Structure 1
Amino acid sequence: MKQEILEAVKKAKEEAKPRNFTQSVDVVITIKDLDVRKPENRIDEEVFLPNGRGKPVKIAFIADGELALLAKNAGADLVINKADLEELGKDRKEAKKMANRHDFFVAQADMMPLVGRFLGPVLGPRKKMPKPVPASAKPEPLMEKLKGTVKVRIKDQPVVQALVGSQEMGDEDIADNIEAVLGVLDQKLEKGRSQIKSMYVKTTMGPVARVI
């Protein structure tokens, strides 16, 4: 299947019209013989892409004290303390803007109840609830891992759509990232990738290129 994936990646990139931004590359996979009404058939996994996402990732840290300082020094795009949390809780519009601007949230574990209260209604529906970490956590390795992480989900429909890179990345690198996504399906589906009904590769605004 590797060759077919490579060909589809190449075709999707070639057929994408030039845009004034770097387009993402997604893989879209339809699964057969899967009853998504059963909770055990739903998937919600984080996948580490071996060659990264190909685009910058914005990470917000919700922390106080030393962890907040370490996160700031490690290059977090935003550090939210307790006072900021309360302010965002009062300003839903600003909270939504902030949630849309950031890809991942990390929170000091003992602040999670406050996060749930003030930001839960905004982050929950966007599937961006923070990853809780202890106050003694080291932000740098955490952030490095998140920069190459994507979500693979099956919820209401037996379909996975996941970001696997950007059009500026090499074809082989994107193909390896697609293999990482398929690895999750191998683990989670009863019959692994033989349950794939169809698979396409596409850029953000380009046409789809069929793999199978």
Structure 2
Amino acid sequence: MELKKAFEELKKEKKRKFVQSVDLIVNLHNYDVRKEALNTFVKLPNSNKKKVAAFLTKRSSIINTITEEDFKKYKEEKVQKKLAKEYDFFIAVAPMMPKIATTFGRVFGPMNKMPSPQGGIMPNEDEATVKAMIETMGAMVRVRNKEMSIKMSIGKEDMDEAKLIENAESIVKQLEKKLPRGKENIKDAMVKFTMTKPIKFLDNVKK
């Protein structure tokens, strides 16, 4: 089934009282997840608004900021988990990273919320650098798989269908470039809304 048809089928499903996320699921094969697990970023051509917070040495007027002074408020694990769930991404100025890792690493690491050298760590915290990083991270999706499938949000159901299609197609192509054997590692791909069953639009398994 082509991607446009898959979205047409999803729109026939029962309407919900909230705007559902659109998820892309890419199933893998011919792949050793223990030795070849991905820890990278892919970029959405049409970004979905994301909540970003920053670890900085001083307060910023353009982003919610966590300074070293604030760390004492986040000593408890449950408080750190609540913070991690409030934001899609965290960015940080490089000199703060050792203390961020010590304070938040145990909770943020498994939740894929630690600022990363691949995206999220800044050499300095001037306004232009922070603005540029916010814009960059707003279009990024983190990919970190520990199983034979990759799942990510590529938008909301009220987004333009053409933009959702472009997002899905672009992510699949980017994953092909990042996987060790490219297209051969992708078994199939599906799209779904939050409350629907997935619909397959790509099948690379030879019949």
TM-score by length of 1: 0.85
Structure 1: any 5+ residue segments left out of the alignment? none
Does the 8 A contact of 1:43 with 1:154 survive in 2?
A: yes
Does the 8 A contact of 1:10 with 1:171 survive in 2?
A: no
Give the whole-Å Cα distance in 1 for the aligned partners of 2:43 and 2:34: 27
Counterpart residue number, 2:197: 207
Q: How far has the Cα of 1:109 moved from its partner?
A: 0.8
Q: How far has the Cα of 1:128 moved from its partner?
A: 0.5
Q: How far has the Cα of 1:37 moved from its partner?
A: 2.3
SS where residue 33 of structure 2 aligns?
coil
Which of the two has greater helix per residue?
1
Q: How far has the Cα of 1:48 moved from its partner?
A: 1.3
Counterpart residue number, 1:144: 135
Match of 2:71 among 60, 63, 85: 85
Match of 2:107 among 118, 122, 131: 122
Counterpart residue number, 2:164: 174
1:49 matched to 2:47? The reply is no
Does the 8 A contact of 1:57 with 1:103 survive in 2?
A: yes
Structure 2: any 5+ residue segments left out of the alignment? 203-207
- In structure 2, relative to structure 1, the CA distance for the partners of 1:120 and 1:189 (3 Å cut) is closer
SS where residue 139 of structure 1 aligns?
helix
List, as ranges, runs of 4+ consecutive aligned residues in structure 1 with deviation greater than 4 Å: none
Match of 2:30 among 33, 41, 51: 33
Give the whole-Å Cα distance in 2 for the aligned partners of 1:94 and 1:190: 38
Match of 2:17 among 10, 17, 20: 20
Give the whole-Å Cα distance in 2 for the aligned partners of 1:29 and 1:199: 4
SS where residue 211 of structure 1 aligns?
strand
* C-alpha distance after superposition, 1:63-115 (max 9, x if no partner): 013xx32xxx22x2x21111101331x23322221111111001111111111
Counterpart residue number, 1:110: 95
TM-score by length of 2: 0.87
Does the 8 A contact of 1:30 with 1:158 survive in 2?
A: yes
Q: Give aligned-pair identity as a percent.
A: 32
Counterpart residue number, 1:59: 52
Does the 8 A contact of 2:30 with 2:184 survive in 1?
A: no
Does the 8 A contact of 1:47 with 1:180 survive in 2?
A: no
Give the whole-Å Cα distance in 1 for the aligned partners of 2:178 and 2:77: 37
